[in-house]
A = this chain, B = another copy of it.
Amino acid sequence: MSEQATTPNRHLTSKEHLRLWLRLLRTTRRVEADLRERLRLQFNTTLPRFDVMAALSRHPDGLKMNELSQQLKVSNGNVTGIISRLVEDGWVERIAIEGDRRATRVLLTAAGNQQFHHMAQAHEHWVDELFSSLSGQETHHMNELFAHLPTEAGPEPDSPAPDNQGELR
């Protein structure tokens, strides 16, 4: 488990890992900030709302609240608030589930679906711009390196089908 071995390069590797993590974090924050601002200015919405709509757009029949929060890897209570606001805006609706009065199914309205497709198109273009300094080869290479990282849930080797995130279709 990556014990503090007595090899002389332990220190260096650890520092390199730290450096990589800090870069990763800076880059992600910068891109996120950019996307957040554009979503606000051009669509008067937020990144969390966009993420929720993206998840719902991949499931035309809707998702239960708990499925949604698992997909987005955020807490249960968090989704409640975001969905409530999306419902107010008319982009999402809640539908009772037959035979289980505890659960509800949430899905995009027709208007929500249309709105999401507008946003997703812009979003893809923005991301393409932000990463434009990477060549196709570099992008591909980086994608492969990321496969080695703890991207998916770590200590759970039994996830049914992680499903591709975002609006990738």
Binding site for B on A (CB under 8 A): 1-2, 4, 9, 12-33, 73, 124-125, 127-134, 136, 138-143, 145-146, 148-154, 164-168
Contact = CB atoms under 8 A, between A and B. Distances in A.
Given A2-B132, A140-B16, A22 B168 contact: yes
Contact of A145 (B22, B138, B168): B138
A80 B128 CA distance: 35
Contacts of A28: 24-25, 28
A157 to B, nearest CB: 14
Given A165-B26, A166-B22, A17 B139 contact: yes
A132 to B, nearest CB: 4
22 contacts: A1-B132, A12-B136, A13-B136, A15-B124, A16-B139, A17-B127, A19-B168, A20-B131, A21-B131, A22-B165, A22-B166, A23-B143, A23-B151, A24-B24, A24-B27, A24-B28, A24-B31, A27-B146, A27-B149, A30-B154, A133-B149, A138-B148
This chain's copy number in the assembly: 2
A interface majority secondary structure:
helix
A136 B7 CA distance: 13
A148 B167 CA distance: 25
Contacts of A139: 13, 16-17, 20
Contacts of A154: 30
A14 to B, nearest CB: 4
B140 A24 contact: no
